A = this chain, B = another copy of it.
Amino acid sequence: MATKRPTIYDVAQAAGVSKSLVSLVLQGSPRVGEGSRKAVEAAIVELGYRPSRAAANLAAGRTRVVGVLIDDYTNLWFVDLVRGLHAALGPRGYRLSVVDVATDGQAEDPIDSFLSMRVDGMVVGMDPPRALSGAGLPPIVVAGTRELPEGVAAFDRVANDDAEGGRLVARHLVDLGHRRLGHLAAAGGAARARREAFVAQARDLGAAVAGTDWVGAATDEAGYLGTMELLRADPEITGIFAANDVMAVGALAAAREVGREVPGGLSVVGYDDTSLAASRLVSLTTVNDLSFDVGREAGALLLRRMRGESGPVARIVLPPSMTLRATTATPAVTGSAAAR
C-alpha cells in the first residue's frame, strides 16, 4: 500500500525554513521561535505530513506514546476524551495507548505498565489507583474531576464543572414540574461532585430527592437495579438522574419493565453525552461534559510539560450544558398514578 506521502523536505519548503528546523519543531524543541513553529505547524497540517516516527524515536530514546488510563472500555465517555487528546497530540506525532482497569483488574499497577512502555506522558481519566509520585514518572495531566490521594504532587487538571452539571440537571427537572426525584450515583470523584450539587440544588428548589446514599457500578445493570429499588421504595418519584449515561440506560430498561412510560411516566437524565446517549434508540437527555474539549486541553497542557515547560500548575474547568433529547418531559401524572 505505497501511497505518496509528503516528506520533511516538502514541509520545510512550504514553511520556508530549513529541514533541520522542521526536525526541531517535530522534536518539540524549546529552541524554536514561536513564529517559525507556527509556520511549520501550518505546513504540516496543510500537507497532511506525518513524520516516520519509529526510526526517529528509536534514535532519540523517546517513544512519542502517551498513556491514557481509564476505568472501563464499556463506559463510552472516554471515547471523546481520547479523540480530543488525539486532536491535540496527533499532529505533533504522539500516539495514544489506552488502558482500562476493568480489563486489567488483576494486574499489579497500570502506572507501572505505562512506565515499562516508556510513555512520554500520561493522562489519568479516573481516580488514580495509587499515589502518583515517585521517581521516573513522566508528565501527568489529570482529566475529569478526580479524587487524588493526599499529599501528592500537584498535577495539571482539566475537567468539566461536575457540580454545575449536577445543578443543571436539578434545575431542568424542577423546571419541568418534577418534585420527587431519585438519584443513582457511581463511585469516584466526578460522580460525588455531581451528586452533592444535584441534591443541594434540587432541595433548594423545593424538590425531594431519594437515593442520596445509593452508589453503584457505572454499568447498565447497576442502573437498572438501582432504579427498581428507588421506584419500589418511592413510587411517587417522577424523575431520575443517573451519574452517567450507561447507568441511565439501565434506568430506561427498569422504567419499561415496571410500565412507566418514558418520559411522561418517568423522566431519566444521564451524564456524559456519549454516543450511546445520542443513538436514536436511546435518545437520552444528558449533560454534555465536553469530553472532547477536556481531552484537547489536557493534550495541550501535556504537550507543554513534555516540552519541558515548568510554569504554575494549571487547573482548567469547562462549563457543561444540558443536551435535551427524548427522555425528559413534564410529568404526565403524579408518580403514584403513573406507577399503577
Contact B50 A131 (CB under 8 A): no
CB-defined contacts of A130 to chain B, threshold 8 Å: 1
Q: Report A43-93 residues with CB < 8 Å from chain B CB.
A: 48, 50-54, 57-58, 63-65, 73-74, 76, 78-79, 82-83, 86, 90-91
Contact present for B74 and A275 (CB under 8 Å) = yes
A63–B119 alpha-carbon span in the complex (Å) = 11
Q: Are A253 and B275 touching (Cβ within 8 A)? A: no
Q: Looking at chain A's contact residues, is the secondary structure mostly helix, strand, loop, or mixed? A: mixed
| A65 contacts B280, C-beta separation under 8 Å | no
Instruction: Indicate if A97 sits at the interface (CB-CB under 8 A).
Output: yes
**Pairwise interchain contact B104-A95, C-beta atoms closer than 8 A:** yes
Residue contact B112 to A52, C-beta cutoff 8 Å: yes
Q: Is the CB of B281 within 8 A of A113?
A: no
CB of A12 within 8 A of chain B? no
A308 is an interface residue with CB less than 8 A from chain B: no
Chain B residues with CB under 8 Å of A256's CB are: 281
Q: Flag if B103 contacts A96 (CB, 8 Å).
A: yes
| Residue contact B82 to A115, C-beta cutoff 8 Å | no
* A233 interfacial by beta-carbon distance below 8 Å: no
- In the complex, which residues of chain B have a beta carbon less than 8 angstroms from the beta carbon of A115? 54
Q: Is the CB of B279 within 8 A of A250?
A: yes
Decide: B79 and A103 in contact? CB cutoff 8 A. Answer: yes
Collect the chain B residues with CB atoms within 8 Å of residue A58's CB.
116
Q: Is the CB of A108 within 8 A of B250?
A: no
Is A96 within 8 A of B90, CB to CB?
no
What are the nearest 3 A-B pairs in CB distance? Answer: A253-B280, A50-B108, A97-B97
30 residue pairs A–B, Cβ–Cβ below 8 Å? A1-B129, A1-B130, A5-B108, A48-B106, A52-B112, A53-B108, A53-B113, A63-B116, A63-B118, A64-B116, A65-B97, A65-B113, A74-B275, A79-B103, A83-B103, A86-B107, A95-B107, A95-B113, A96-B99, A96-B104, A97-B99, A98-B99, A117-B117, A221-B280, A250-B279, A250-B280, A253-B280, A253-B281, A256-B281, A281-B281
Beyond the given A50-B108, A65-B113, A253-B279, please list 9 additional residue pairs across the A-B interface where CB-CB is below 8 A: A53-B108, A53-B113, A64-B116, A91-B106, A95-B113, A95-B117, A220-B281, A250-B280, A253-B281
